[in-house]
Structure 1
Amino acid sequence: MYDVIVVGGGHAGIEAALAPARIGNKTLLITSHFDNVGSLPCNTSIGGPAKGIIVREIDALGGQMGKTADATYLQMKMLNTAKGPGVQSLRAQADKKAYPRYMQNILKQQDNLDIVEGMVEDLIIEDDTVKGVILDTGETYLGMTVILTTGTYLKAEILVGDQKTPSGPDQERQSLFLSDRLKDLGFRIQRLKTGTPPRVEINSVDYSKTQCQPGTDEPLAFSYETTNFISIEEQTPCYLTYTNETTHQIIRDNLSKCSMYSGIVKGIGPRYCPSIEDKIVKFSDKSQHQIFLEPESKEMNTIYVQGFSTSMPHDIQEQMIRTIPGLENCQILKYAYAIEYDAIDPLQLWPSLETKVIKNLFTAGQINGTSGYEEAAAQGLIAGINASQKLSGKAPLILRRDEAYIGVMIDDLVTKGTKEPYRMLTSRAEYRLLLRHDNADERLRKYGYQAHLVSEEVYQTYLNKMQRIHNEIERLESIRFTPKHEINDVLEQLGSSRLNEGMSAKSLLQRPEMDYQKIKPFIEDAHLSLEEEKRVTILIKYKGYIDKALRQVEKQKKMEEKQIPLDIDYHQVLNLSLEAKQKLSEIRPMTIAQASRISGINPADISVLLIYLKQYY
């Protein structure tokens, strides 16, 4: 008998298995093929806009993804540096061979974790409670809790042109019967689609026709515990090129031949990561689209053609790709394809990621309708933590929208649902200035520590770091510069006005053109790390905006703290609209704040509900 059984060895499954095992629960990971655990079947990158912050949050909570990315990257880059800190995110070009190999070694060495190769096709259910799983061989494993992280394998089909081939990603076995079993149990099943672009031979590209895209020349990492960094000289560059009108015309002339427009696609594709043919149709006014050429591994001779996902037939792919500057004579090593798969309706989940249909059954990753490695890993970690919390009789970890992008994502899924692969975007977060790359530890370290995924030593290191940052902000308030100080020469060089009266170092940092590095030569060295210096700058420069956001959060907290009994009969609440009764009964929001975010619930419904709760609860 296991405490936790995890089905699937993708990015969600890894975190879902490691978390309870590290907490001390006897855990079983079942995967169809262990050599594919942690694989990167699509883009070989970790992070990106909003996603990079999710990886930082995973690390702050005690997860593994950030540490593995830091140990195996080809390139590390900070995005949106010309913009404010609320939208800056880290992105690593991962090594397609090294990343999964590192993850597999971590899993093999983990105490309390057993690993079995097999395909789960059924669940053992008693009294609406999961009791274990059944493999396609008939072999059974019993467990107190089960976490499904099946990725894109449920009834998966590969689509190229007008051809459909039953298969999982990279010609892996698909799961044939589990989604039907879930449907029989009462889950609503939806069909989704995603895709991947071609890979070309690395030496067949004419890089002189492209723009080199190097990494960022700074010591950058996802994990707060990383101390080893790859120098910019040792990092692998990526390259930028563009489609053109010739590319677009070939696509328009052959739309009827691609899976998307030929009529064989049933699933809904990702709005924010569309195929190239979808871009041409939906953004017909664009004369070109960015194409990034990204090396996949030091051990491979392949380039990933980012932005060129397609389901066109192979001969049309050949024509299309050779119109792109730098790829005129490229050798295609692997053709692009689309993949369809089954997923559940995430409205049937509690915010803990336990299902409402079956007790002790959790789901995480693409089975919940999301896209992306980072979104999957985050859900796996939360599901793993909450399976452990349930075993020990503790309340689940539910992150608020002002605490984490992870909280935004899960709340969106379980409150609003999704009909297309959900991708995390900074625009989804109403408090994104609070959910920054630099402060994930300040937001979430305590939760990782309370869940026993962050050690005493690591937590104390975090506390010491925060003390240094706050001490330095106080010290900068006490340091003053006079109009005669030599810093005036620096201000003049920066185009900033000279000092006409005395000013504190802290006040000087509030100027748009100033940062800690520019002031540092004129003050006693506080021996802060570069990351700590940046945090000091952000906390001083954006204090007014941060304080305003925090005041908004405090107002919202009153609604977040107003609990709604789960056994309430909404049909007995007089004056609630019919739509409100139906949606509240289905979603079963846990708080007034969550209820207010349900599509179709208006302020009048919330007022009626508050009055009812005051009268009867």
Structure 2
Amino acid sequence: MFPEYDVIVVGAGHAGCEAAAAAANLGSKVLLITMNMQTIAQMSCNPAMGGIAKGQIVREIDAMGGYSGIVTDQSMIQFRMLNRSKGPAMWSPRAQSDRMLFAGKWREMLEQTPNVDFYQDMVNGLLIKGGRVSGVISGLGHEIKSKAVVLTNGTFLNGVIHIGERQLGGGRMAEKAATGITEQLVSLGFESQRLKTGTPPRIDGRSLDYSKMEEQKGDEQITGFSFLNVPRIKPEQQRSCWMTYTNEQVHDILKTGFEKSPMFQGRIKGTGPRYCPSIEDKINRFAERDRHQLFVEPEGFSTVEIYVNGFSSSLPEQVQYQALKLVPGFENCKMFRPGYAIEYDFFPPTQLQFSLETKQVQNLFFAGQINGTTGYEEAACQGLMAGINAHQKVKELEPLVLKRSEAYIGVLIDDLINKGTDEPYRMFTSRAEFRTLLRQDNADVRLTPLSYKLGLASQERMDRVEGKITGVKKATDLLSMLSVEPGEINEFLGSVQSAPLVNKQKILQLLLRPNISLTDMQVSVARIKLALEEFDTETLEQVEIVTKYDTYIEKERELVAKMSTLEDLIIPDNFNYTKLVSLSNEARQKFTKIRPRTLGQASRISGVNPSDVQILMVFMGR
């Protein structure tokens, strides 16, 4: 019934979809197995993509030739570039998505991707022979052979849903949990732990009074995520989100449910996400606060369903409902379904290599929440890398490993492998030490050439990147030669509280001043507008960023060069750390367990001191 595949991807969430697309587009024959063909690329929680640091990841996925950015652009109902008031290293795109359209577009793109087959069934076992995976065993008893397997099980591994005192087996509401895989992997020597996540109630938008909330409109200019020319909605077509707040009365009602809370009564053993706590956790941990922010987010163009961002809860349904009715604007709310918590198995990611292949079993790859991460974006980028490297492995090619200095994706995977996680891992800009280099606007310049060389990024992508680089250089050269006279620019400079010119000055030099932008100068000075009319907005934005932040960018490049010395020092695979008696016990144990590839990686392992790295360096030198 089934041919032998190059790669089998288990699970069709964000990680599984990207993994299947990447491996197939590189030329592997792929089977994507999911328990429900109707929930491919389901947005299980909030109907949004991007955000702080997450937006950078989506742009990196797109630059590499992944699908998340394209699908998001095609299904967005609102777009915002966050942190515009800060430097460009902090700018992060975020889109509110039409939940059903998002999943539909993903499935459509996968179905149009050659080399991808689909099958609906549970996978409850792996075929393993001689320490190497050779396929999967399905719930219906099929043994499906493959050369590599990518597990992207999300929250489904032995998933348990909690609503008050009620417990339901499931990986998502109304969907059964996946069993068998954890037990098999543990029997092979893998370490497994439990994590928890949650979701808020969904509300009938027709029952809300928006006049009591603050409106949040989208941007007047929609940049989007994809570097390709993808059709997007017009700014005036965007749907608004809204903002409201809890209050002390809401908190008092919620407290009445604490005695039945699965979290407070110890029924939930897994650790929840630190940066996205449940509403009951917020009012317990931050008792001094008399209100908490709630974002009221529409789930699409053609539905009245509303997502209450910030009100995640596992309290009894009646308590959730009574508390919500005391939130301004929610007095007459009707609930579609309650919020709930879900506990699931994950495998500490220190058990993986940088390619996301497991150390214990060859050709077996993990991606997404199975590695302890949270968020669609974090899952999708792991899926992309696991799909790429599964293909590389079966074709006997070198794995693709992104460095911390090359991508947020590299930061995420490096953090997981070296430090592990005991709580759901979420990406932030603060995790990246080279974030001036890793901006959302230059992800294509950083990553598309790498992906194109690999064979994933298309010729169209590469042509656009080369055109962008050429355009930026041409515009920069022009502005370095073009001068303005005091008489034609001083009125503009006065309007932005900048000192007037006494002599004529090059425009590129003027750009170094704070509060001066090319866009504003073009509006105010006709000659500048005429000189730059051949360049698009993206090119001019690049010129401005590189000019203003040139000193900072150069400093980070110098730091990368210094740190690359450690990254280039390879540690032999069979290195015996036990003979280094001068190492601390913790370092010896961590090195033996994680088996770092380089001194750079060794230096980033949690619990390892600089002196331990120096000892290792000296011994390797001998």
Please state which band the TM-score falls in when normalised by the shorter chain.
over 0.9
Residue-by-residue CA offset, 1:166-202 (whole Å, 9 max, x unaligned) = 1120211210211111111111101000000011101
- Contact 2:277-2:312 at 8 Å conserved across structures: yes
How far the C-alpha of 1:385 sits from its partner, in A, is 0.6
Give the distance between the partners of 2:96 and 2:593, measured in 1 at CA: 41
- Contact 1:250-1:319 at 8 Å conserved across structures: yes
Instruction: Give 1:554's aligned residue.
Output: 561
Q: 1:452 aligns with which of 446, 455, 466?
A: 455
Q: What's the secondary structure of 1:218's corresponding residue?
A: coil
Q: What's the secondary structure of 2:32's corresponding residue?
A: strand
Instruction: Give 1:472's aligned residue.
Output: 475
Instruction: Give 1:563's aligned residue.
Output: 570
- Contact 2:73-2:230 at 8 Å conserved across structures: no
Instruction: Give 2:304's aligned residue.
Output: 301
Q: What's the secondary structure of 1:550's corresponding residue?
A: helix
Residue-by-residue CA offset, 1:143-183 (whole Å, 9 max, x unaligned) = 11100000000000110112211112021121021111111
Correspondence 1:515-530 to 2 at 5 A = 515-520=517-522, 521-523=526-528, 524-530=531-537
How far the C-alpha of 1:254 sits from its partner, in A, is 2.9
Instruction: Give 1:613's aligned residue.
Output: 620
Give the distance between the partners of 2:514 and 2:288, measured in 1 at CA: 36
Q: 2:289 aligns with which of 279, 286, 291?
A: 286
Instruction: Give 1:577's aligned residue.
Output: 584
Residue-by-residue CA offset, 1:322-352 (whole Å, 9 max, x unaligned) = 1111111111111100000000010100111
TM-score by length of 2: 0.97
RMSD: 1.1
Instruction: Give 1:514's aligned residue.
Output: 516
1:589 aligns with 2:592: no
1:174 aligns with 2:177: yes
Give the distance between the partners of 1:13 and 1:125, measured in 2 at CA: 21
Give the distance between the partners of 2:310 and 2:334, measured in 1 at CA: 18
Residue-by-residue CA offset, 1:433-453 (whole Å, 9 max, x unaligned) = 111111111111112102211
Moved more, 277-286 or 354-363: 277-286
1:426 aligns with 2:408: no
Q: 1:241 aligns with which of 214, 239, 244?
A: 244
Instruction: Give 1:542's aligned residue.
Output: 549
Correspondence 1:166-205 to 2 at 5 A = 166-205=169-208
How far the C-alpha of 1:103 sits from its partner, in A, is 0.9
Q: What's the secondary structure of 1:382's corresponding residue?
A: helix
How far the C-alpha of 1:393 sits from its partner, in A, is 2.2
Percent identity over paired residues: 45
Give the distance between the partners of 1:201 and 1:270, measured in 2 at CA: 27
How far the C-alpha of 1:242 sits from its partner, in A, is 0.8
Q: 1:486 aligns with which of 482, 485, 488?
A: 488
Residue-by-residue CA offset, 1:570-611 (whole Å, 9 max, x unaligned) = 112242222111100101111111100111111111111111
How far the C-alpha of 1:522 sits from its partner, in A, is 3.3
How far the C-alpha of 1:267 sits from its partner, in A, is 0.8
How far the C-alpha of 1:526 sits from its partner, in A, is 4.5
Q: What's the secondary structure of 2:440's corresponding residue?
A: coil
Paired residue type of 1:469: V
- Contact 1:385-1:451 at 8 Å conserved across structures: no
Q: 1:89 aligns with which of 92, 113, 122?
A: 92
- Contact 1:472-1:526 at 8 Å conserved across structures: no
Label 1:101 to 1:556 Cα distance change in 2 as closer, same or farther (>3 A). Answer: same
Instruction: Give 2:121's aligned residue.
Output: 118
- Contact 1:162-1:262 at 8 Å conserved across structures: no
Moved more, 411-420 or 532-541: 532-541
Structure 2: runs of 5+ lacking an equivalent: none
Correspondence 1:358-507 to 2 at 5 A = 358-483=361-486, 485-507=487-509
Give the distance between the partners of 1:214 and 1:341, measured in 2 at CA: 36
Correspondence 1:39-54 to 2 at 5 A = 39-54=42-57
Q: What's the secondary structure of 1:169's corresponding residue?
A: coil
1:262 aligns with 2:265: yes
Structure 1: runs of 5+ lacking an equivalent: none
Instruction: Give 2:606's aligned residue.
Output: 599
- Contact 1:97-1:299 at 8 Å conserved across structures: no
Equivalenced residue count is: 614
TM-score by length of 1: 0.98
Residue-by-residue CA offset, 1:407-446 (whole Å, 9 max, x unaligned) = 1110110100000111111111111111111111111111
